[in-house]
Structure 1
Amino acid sequence: MNENVIQSIVEEVVSQFSKQPPAEKGIPLAVSARHCHLSRRDLEALFGSGYELTPIKALSQPGQFAAQETVMIAGPRGGIENVRVLGPARNLTQVEVSKTDSIKLGLQPPLRKSGDIKGSSPVTIIGPKGSIYLQEGLIIAQAHVHMSPADAAAFHVSDGEYVRITVESGRALSFENVLIRVSPDYRLEMHLDTDEANAGFIATGATGKLIKYAGLA
């Protein structure tokens, strides 16, 4: 087989892959470890007046980054050090942990979508310049998929919809009631916490298959 024929075959394979339905290409998965989002006010309470976060790594979602700064979070049973702060600063402070983390803290955070902190668990956050006690703000983040409007159209889903994501990993799992979050600012990716990832031997970079629930167009 000559070189031109081989090149033609390779180009055809690439072309056919690009035409695959999105569901067959899969949803990229990312494991989200415990972390903290801080409001401007709380950032300054913990690190000092006028303090600015120091980006060390861009995250997959555009404009977001892991900061050099870390804090300690504490509850009645104990504390967890070196909790990464993510930037930029937000309107509200929110701490996301796994169920395992919550047991160590002695707290009972609810399973919530990010940003829904009303009535959630209290938590103490300790920084190098001070500490704050939040009446609410500690949650276990619900597994969710970020996607752009174009991705949503391709997968035939809408913002706020719940779907099933199946993962063929070291231990095959099916994640139920995974929330779809759609925004022009989002990049296609499912976020799950460390407990969920460890249960399925899942690492960032794996992929899952999106399945719509029966009866939903």
Structure 2
Amino acid sequence: KVKGIYGYRRVTMTLNRRLGTSYNHKRIYRLMRVLGIQSIIRRKKSRYKKATPNHIAKNLLNREFQAEKPNEKWVTDVTEFKFGKATKAYLSAIRDLYDGAIISYVLGLKNNNQLVFKTLDQATTMLNGEQPLLHSDRGFQYTHLEFKRKIDKANMTHSMSRVGRCIDNGPIESFWGTLKCEKYYLEKYETFDDLE
């Protein structure tokens, strides 16, 4: 009757309404599979390809967000902004947990390795013998071998958030929230220069 539009959830709901029953969706799913009945509506394709990370670090920061001195613990991340009609820009930043200062940042039109590498290069030129712990999420830029090489070259220690635990990188996430509330959401940005 519905020309193959309904999947097992909607079939269950319709049957239960019309017949006054309370069949479980698992039963309907099993029976539909036995009968070879399936929704013809196309499934949404995932837009992201799951990549195998080249390098993963342990969560050494472990939500200990206090630092005793500058350049002891850094956190980093990338966030997205929109400007014009629907153009995107990406901001990569490194924040020092000692006083919340932004050590370095790069704004670009592409969320790629270069954006993150430039941010790290800027930050490491300011070091004077210190070897901070740098904490990031598991984004593709941070699991890249070149990022690991840059960390090792600066004698820094890399720490990573656990999968799906954005609170492990809370201080930088908090900074993005403040930046967007206090500045970004209050104005419209037509060009990249305006946004910058």
Q: Shorter-chain TM-score: which interval?
A: under 0.3
User: Whose helix proportion is higher, 1 or 2?
Assistant: 2
Choose 1 or 2 for highest CA Rg: 2
TM-score normalized by structure 2?
Answer: 0.23
Q: Which has the higher contact order (CA 8 A, sep 6+)?
A: 1
TM-score normalized by structure 1?
Answer: 0.22
